[in-house]
């Protein structure tokens, strides 16, 4: 059985893995990109080879196991090097149905990637992990966000290795400045790392990430730091950092632990 494929546009194809994780194929004239490799039990590379007509580069949005779990099929992968520790310490590295690329084949991601007909900008958005990045496709008016701002029901900062809320706020500020310089506005489409989560939001029936959610997220960080927003104990995966709490502001939702505000 094959991955579920959805053609978003002529240039962008989504592959959904069996956990509703998203792998994006971004097609250029001379070069294409595979953004994340999911953690499906079925091979990914044959799908990429058949759907992409050009050479391609594989890029990780960040180092978490559910985004890198088929990477061993590829010869090289690009990632922000700040996530090497996250990649190395993935607790699921030994899951037998997954395959991981060796660390010496993980190369530092460039700031700008030339696809021939257009460039893709790489914008840091550190917080969920120390090396989470976004890809910006100006021609397609698309931003690929991995888990950096969540996929519609909140960003996870309660996980092992996530940055403090205060540092996330600073990084979001810089990230938002870069996005605005690149022309990103509320008409652009944002594509997260997990599918169907827009319907799991607590703030609205369908909470699709966009530039406004990012602005609200920056404000939410400040409200959490100043304790000017309600903290609710959260029924969400707990890691070794402490009990998770939830807070929201506008479109933004966040899970965090008290010792890392
Ligand atoms: Zn993640």
Q: 42-70, pLDDT tens digit by residue?
A: 999 999 999 999 999 999 999 999 999 99
Q: Ligand 1 mean position to 62 CA, how many Å? A: 7
Q: Ligand 1 mean position to 197 CA, how many Å? A: 14
Q: Ligand 1 mean position to 162 CA, how many Å? A: 9
Q: Ligand 1 mean position to 66 CA, how many Å? A: 7
Q: Ligand 1 mean position to 181 CA, how many Å? A: 26
Q: Ligand 1 mean position to 158 CA, how many Å? A: 11
Q: Ligand 1 mean position to 128 CA, how many Å? A: 7
- SS3 readout for the chain: CCCEEEECCCCEEEEECCCCEEEEEECCCCCEEEECCCCCCCCCHHHHHHHCCCCEEEECCCCCHHHHCCHHHCCCEEECHHHHHHHHCCCCCCCCCCCCCCHHHEEECCCEEECCCCEEEEEECCCCCCCCEEEEECCCCEEEEECCCCCCCCEECCCCCCCCHHHHHHHHHHHHHHHHHCCCCCCCEEEECECCHHHHCCCCCCCCCCHHHHHHHHHHHHHHHCCCCCCEECCCCCCCCCCEEEEEECCEEEEEEHHHC
Q: 12-27, pLDDT tens digit by residue?
A: 999 999 999 999 999 9
* pTM summary value: 0.97
Q: Going residue by residue through the chain (261 aa), what tens digit of pLDDT does each one get? A: 579 999 999 999 999 999 999 999 999 999 999 999 999 999 999 999 999 999 999 999 999 999 999 999 999 999 999 999 999 998 777 788 899 999 999 999 999 999 999 999 999 999 999 999 999 999 999 999 999 999 999 999 999 999 999 999 999 999 999 999 999 999 999 999 999 999 999 999 999 999 999 999 999 999 999 999 999 999 999 999 899 999 999 999 999 999 999
Between CA 185 and CA 215 the distance in angstroms is 11
Domains of the chain: 4-260 (3.60.15.10)
């Amino acid at each position: 059985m094959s991955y579920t494929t959805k053609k978003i546009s002529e240039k962008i194809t989504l592959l959904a893995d069996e956990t509703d994780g998203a792998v994006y194929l971004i097609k250029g004239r001379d070069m294409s990109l595979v953004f994340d490799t999911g953690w499906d039990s079925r091979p990914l590379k044959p799908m990429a080879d058949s759907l992409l007509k050009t050479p391609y580069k594989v890029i990780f949005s960040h180092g978490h196991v559910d985004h890198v779990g088929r990477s061993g099929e590829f010869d090289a992968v690009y990632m922000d090097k700040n996530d090497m520790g996250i990649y190395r310490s993935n607790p699921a590295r030994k899951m037998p149905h997954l395959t991981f690329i060796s660390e010496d084949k993980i190369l530092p991601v460039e700031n700008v990637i030339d696809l021939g007909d257009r460039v893709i900008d790489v914008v840091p958005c550190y917080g969920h992990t120390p090396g989470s990045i976004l890809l910006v496709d100006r021609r397609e008016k698309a931003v690929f966000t991995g888990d950096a701002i969540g996929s519609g029901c909140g960003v996870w900062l309660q996980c092992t290795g996530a940055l403090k809320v205060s540092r996330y706020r600073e990084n979001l500020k810089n990230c938002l400045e870069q996005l605005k310089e690149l022309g990103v506005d509320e008409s652009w489409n944002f594509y997260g790392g997990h599918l169907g989560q827009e319907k799991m939001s607590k703030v609205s029936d369908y909470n699709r990430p966009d530039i406004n959610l990012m602005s609200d997220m920056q404000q939410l960080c400040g409200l959490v730091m100043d304790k000017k927003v309600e903290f609710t104990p959260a029924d969400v995966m707990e890691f070794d950092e402490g009990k998770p709490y939830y807070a929201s502001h506008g479109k933004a939702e966040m899970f965090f632990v008290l010792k890392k505000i």
